[in-house]
Structure 1
Amino acid sequence: MITRMSSAQLQNAGLRAITDAQTRLASLQQQVATGKKLQSAADDPNAAVQLLELRSELSLMQTHQENMTLVNAALSQEESVISSVNDALNRARELSIQGRNEILAQSDREAIATEMDGLREQLLSLANSTNFNGESIFAGSRTDAPAYSEEGVFQGDDLVREINIARAVTIKLGHTGTDVFERGEGEPNVFQIIANLAEALRLPAEEGSERLDVMQANSIALDASIDQIASLRTSIGTRMTLLDDQLALNDGLTFELTKTMSNLEDLDMPSAISELNLKMVTLQAAQQTFVKTQSMTLFDYL
């Protein structure tokens, strides 16, 4: 059976061919212009769903990256401050050893006591260090006020902010004054220890025995504080190592996520340009064919 097509049917078929070719060409031109093969979810629903999930995961990892930058800055500042605290305490130990020398004149002990006073003020200043936001770094959650009063009394609390650096992985931003400058309930803190040493150095010569007893007791306490600082620095180092490891892991996962997203949505430009040229030729052919069929009549077939 021979199927016959009217002129109108031939014309409509030609128009559909041109319209389809124009639609495919426009879609491909848009892909080439943006460099993305997915222009809408309808282009590939499965890939679109995967991309949404991957973008959500990447956003979370970027948040973790920002958190790690914050933690790194906080721990780096704290390590620097505690290093200065350690230097001050070691200098106080040197002075306490000098001050126990019985041949020293009272004026010499007074000079040592004066330097002790300066070390106490230096330590108070370090204890009240603030971050770039003006927050006290050793005050726990009470960051809007100095961690210590002028008398060397702790005014903060023991609540240290914890921050997520990965799924189910948190890290503390630092330590409190209790961790750094206090020795335990009923024990003098470092400010009181140094004040006691300075006071003992100022005792008159006839109270030499009492001076030595006080200095001996407080020198032992000072050594314990120095050991406490050493342990604290180890703790900071451990946290920074964990942070470095997580940063490296996060970088690797981010790379893999980005690569997977690129495979799903990025256009293979050389292939796309080749296909674009082919579709332009196809459209031109369809247009030329349509023009020719429009000019034909029945007599062209006789």
Structure 2
Amino acid sequence: MRISTSQMFSLGLGAMLEKQGDLVRTQQQISTGQRMLSPADDPVAAVRNLELSRAKDRTEQYERNNHLLDSRLRLEESVLSESVTLLQRVRELAVQANNATQSNESRQSIALEIRQHLDSLLAYANTQDSDGRYIFSGFQQDTPAFSQTTSGVTYNGDDGQRMLQAGPGRQIADSDPGSAVFMAMLNGNGQFSAAASSANQGDGVIAVNAVADPASFTGQTLTVQFTSSDSYEVVDASSNVVASGSYLSGADIVAGGMSFQIEGQPVAGDSFTLQPAQRQDVFSMLDQLAGSLELGRSNAADRAQQTSEINHALGNLDQALDHILGKQTEVGARMASLDRQVDINAGASLQIEENLSLVNDLDYAEAITRFNQQLTSLQAAQQAFSKVQGLSLFNYL
């Protein structure tokens, strides 16, 4: 077999260039710490790397979402906690105002404090997050949730609830609409409410009330009418008598599955109304209580009317407290669920990083050994080429 000088030079040069290319590639791997410099190096690993990178991006997005969720939920929980404290104080003031030793002036002073608490509660309901968004406005987060009007407090938001992706297949609400927190409360005892007629002339006060027989409770409106100072009739909306009896102050009266007490001494013609509980906002509950305390009472009948109104307000406040405490519990449950999801995401993120390391990271010990071998091979090829290039017949002519 004959090999020309040009062919010999070409083969030697090609071998050196190939070994030099391998050496440069290994050097790049060592300098970057990456096993794959291009998808062509390992197509299967490149596809796996792409899948893992996408999973890592999703996990990082979950982390950002969860940070926002944590911030918003903590803010809402704090606002609800402050609201509960405020309502508890208002309830204490209502009990204080219900004391017979209070004068018109002292009750008006209590009403002034209640109105200050009402303003504070409205400010709580219009809380903004760090981005200036109103947390209780539903989807209308750039609009103040509530505003004061001549007719009362108006809700400006909607019933929307923004859900953020906290993890694969797991969404968590970052807040609650104000309509569900401050507006949708049942008044009275949550099932029915009791009120004295403003035309009453006696000093009868309607007090404790509850559902005595759920099976008989129909939720109809009933009116207790006193036919004399010691007898009464209970009539429905069609004026049908459903119960009657002799009156004894503080004794239980049962009608339509409802049990209640009337204390004091009503007179003939006095009446008290029992009606199904209605949805009411907490702001009007406080406003009605303050309005009742602001109005001076000059006789026993007026003071009895005020006492009935305060008793009704106390029932409303109990319902408001239960409602907001329930919302606070829901937020707490979401925060606990978020904490668990954060832990799950952290574990998933660690696993993804480990898998990415297995796919991408370079084995430095193997790479350095390979680099030294390739360097030795290249040096040998260069030395051999320098020897071979000197072989020529012209040296012997």
Could you say which TM-score interval applies, normalised by the shorter chain?
over 0.9
The amino acid of 2:57's aligned partner reads S
| Structure 1 counterpart of 2:305 | 210
What CA distance in whole angstroms lies between the structure 2 residues aligned with 1:216 and 1:204?
A: 17
- Whole-Å separation in 1 of the counterparts to 2:318 and 2:3: 105
Letter of the 1:279 partner, please give it.
Answer: Q
Decide which of 317, 320, 325 is 1:230's aligned counterpart.
Answer: 325
From 257, 274, 282, the equivalent of 2:352 is 257
SS in 2 for 1:171: strand
In structure 1, the residue matched to 2:35 is: 37
> Which of 102, 109, 113 is the equivalent residue of 1:111?
109
Which secondary structure does the structure 1 equivalent of 2:165 belong to?
strand
Find the aligned partners of 1:297 and 1:133 in 2 and give their Cα distance.
83
User: How far apart are the structure 2 equivalents of 1:187 and 1:297?
Assistant: 109
Partner SS state of residue 152, structure 1: strand
Which one scores higher on RCO, CA 8 angstroms, separation ≥ 6?
Answer: 1
**Which string of whole-angstrom CA distances, capped at 9 and with x for unpartnered residues, describes residues 123-172 of structure 1?**
01111111122221111112222111113122211111111112222111
Q: Which structure: greater helix fraction?
A: 1
Of 314, 320, 333, 1:219 maps to 314
In structure 2, the residue matched to 1:127 is 125
Residues of 1 paired with 2:385 and 2:96: CA distance? 107
Using the TM superposition, give the Cα deviation of residue 179 of structure 1 relative to its aligned residue in structure 2, in angstroms: 2.0
Give 2:285's aligned residue. Answer: 193
Matched residues, number: 299
Deviation at 1:67, TM superposition (A): 0.9
1:36 is paired with a residue of what secondary structure? Answer: coil
SS in 2 for 1:37: coil
Query: What is the CA distance between 1:266 and its match in structure 2?
Result: 1.1
How far apart are residue 9 of structure 1 and its match? Answer: 3.4
Task: Please state if 1:177 is matched with 2:269.
Answer: no
Alpha-carbon separation, structure 1, partners of 2:296 and 2:38: 88
1:86 counterpart (50, 61, 84): 84
The aligned counterpart of 1:11 is 9
**3-state SS of 1:165 partner:** strand
The CA distance in 2 between the partners of 1:203 and 1:285, in whole Å, is 109
TM value normalised by structure 2 = 0.72
Q: Look up the equivalent residue of 2:126 and give its one-letter code.
A: N
Amino acid at match of 2:112: T
> By how many angstroms is 1:82 displaced?
0.8
Task: Kindly state the Cα deviation for residue 259 of structure 1 after the two structures are TM-superposed.
Answer: 0.9
Deviation (angstroms), 1:298: 5.8
State the AA in 1 paired with 2:153: G
> What does residue 168 of structure 1 align with?
169
Question: Which sits farther off after the overlay, 165-174 or 206-215?
Answer: 165-174
The structure having more radius of gyration, on CA atoms, is 2
- Per-residue deviation, 1:49: 0.8
Q: 31-40 or 177-186, which moves further after superposition?
A: 177-186
How far the C-alpha of 1:72 sits from its partner, in A, is 0.9
Q: CA deviation at 1:113?
A: 0.9
- The aligned amino acid for 1:117 is R
For 1:90, give the aligned amino acid: Q
Give the whole-Å Cα distance in 2 for the aligned partners of 1:145 and 1:20: 68
Percent identical residues: 34
- CA positional deviation for 1:16: 1.9
- Larger displacement relative to structure 2 (263-272 or 114-123): 263-272
Q: Deviations over 1:154-193 (max 9, x none)?
A: 2211111111112222111111112221215943311111
Match in the other structure for 1:22: 20
SS of residue in 2 equivalent to 1:267: coil
Q: Confirm whether residue 145 of structure 1 aligns to residue 143 of structure 2.
A: yes
| Mapped partners of 1:188, 1:296: distance in 2 | 107
Matched residue type, 1:120: L
Separation (CA, whole Å) in 2 of partners of 1:202 and 1:15: 105
Q: Determine helix, strand or coil for the equivalent of 1:135.
A: coil
The 1-side partners of 2:146 and 2:64 are apart by 30
1-side partners of 2:78 and 2:328: how far apart? Answer: 10
Unaligned ranges ≥5, structure 2: 187-276
Which residue identity lines up with residue 38 of structure 1 in the other structure? M
Structure having the larger proportion of residues in strand: 2
What is the deviation of 1:44? 0.4
Q: Which piece of structure 1 moves more, 35-44 or 271-280?
A: 271-280
Residue identity opposite 1:204 in structure 2: G
Q: Which stretch of structure 1 is more off in the superposition, 70-79 or 264-273?
A: 264-273
Partner of 2:69: 71
Is 1:55 aligned to 2:150, yes or no? no
> Displacement of 1:226 after TM fit?
0.2
| Root-mean-square deviation over aligned CA pairs | 1.8
Aligned partner of 1:155 in structure 2 is 156
Deviates more, 1:244-253 or 1:144-153: 144-153
Deviation readout 1:37-67 (Å, 9 max, x if unpaired): 1010110010011111111111111111111
